[in-house]
Chain A
Amino acid sequence: MEYLYYPGCSLESSGKPYDESLTAVFRALGIGLRELEDWNCCGATMYMSVNEALSLAISARNLALAEQAGFRDLIAPCSACYTVLLKTNRFLRESPELRAKVDQLLGQVGLKYSLGVKVRHPLDVLVNEVGVEVIASAAKRSLEGVAFAPYYGCQIVRPERGFDDAEFPLTMDTLFQRLGARAVYFPLKTRCCGGMLMTTFPDVCLQLVKELLECAAENGAQCLVTTCPLCQVNLEAYQKRVNKMFGTSYQVPVVYFTQLLGVALGCSEKELGLQRNLTVWRAPISVLAA
């Protein structure tokens, strides 16, 4: 089995540990992952607010390249990429006129897209295609003793309703509970982290981050598990500023779901890029050692 992989811009820099751990997890499970050659930016939410038409056209280039490579599924781990690519697919499917226009643009650069690619989130592929039982039987370590807050963020469950409920998704909960961890009560699991507001309106965003950290900490989570590169940076890198602003003292480790999964599958800390995390990431690992 081999999947085509669209890392997205964040996974090349601030989200590097996500890229490393995702690759490690797929390797440990014996599933191939091939990077889409010469992919370009999906457009994210920002391109869309300036020029929607163009954002659709450039994100369609990736889908066309994926189709050309002969793959049915394209894995997009970043929430923004996932949503934008899904949305592009839907717009093209629902509107023949739009499709004709995009076809025409792609034709200019010698590409063609006939809607044959399905955009998938790695969490969806791992749980719904590979299967929780297969993963459990491949696990080398039990996650028993790990109490985690499953944080899905906004864009993988909304607005395209990809693979789980928009407000109370359970995919990640199911996966890690099967591996021995305990999901704490975390009602804010799909609450927005603020995304790019951290750059444009930091005060608004810090408030959102504080609420998420508070909710996780008060419910006894030892770590927050995320599925999105932007959430990870907002929740992890800005804890000091939250603490300064609100007089709190949060030190919650924030890991990508692939990092926690990799721990269970017996991958090393280095393979999972855990040394790149900023927070006291050792907490969940030390729990394992005990």
Chain B
Amino acid sequence: MFHYLALAVILFSIGLFGVLTRRNVIGILMSLELMFNAANINFVAFNKYIITDGLTGQIFAIFIIVVAAAEAVVGLAIVLLIYRNWQGIDMDHVNIMKW
């Protein structure tokens, strides 16, 4: 189980690092997907080792994949708007989320 969790931590950390450091919005979205999948690995691992008889974790993982797909749609739509407004998708220039 340790190896699964370690894999998930590594994957989450890579995703988090990507979200925080990437300048490209597409990159950020991709890093987000990594973090989702880290969570999915955790669900599946816990389901296998803690709730031995049942599929709760797997079902949840599938839900997350569905939600991630929907989120990607919204995210890409926002990216499209950002592109139109800033003539680019560099996140450094997007600083309107303030007072």
A, B: real partners:
no
B-binding residues in A (CB < 8 A): none
A-binding residues in B (CB < 8 A): none
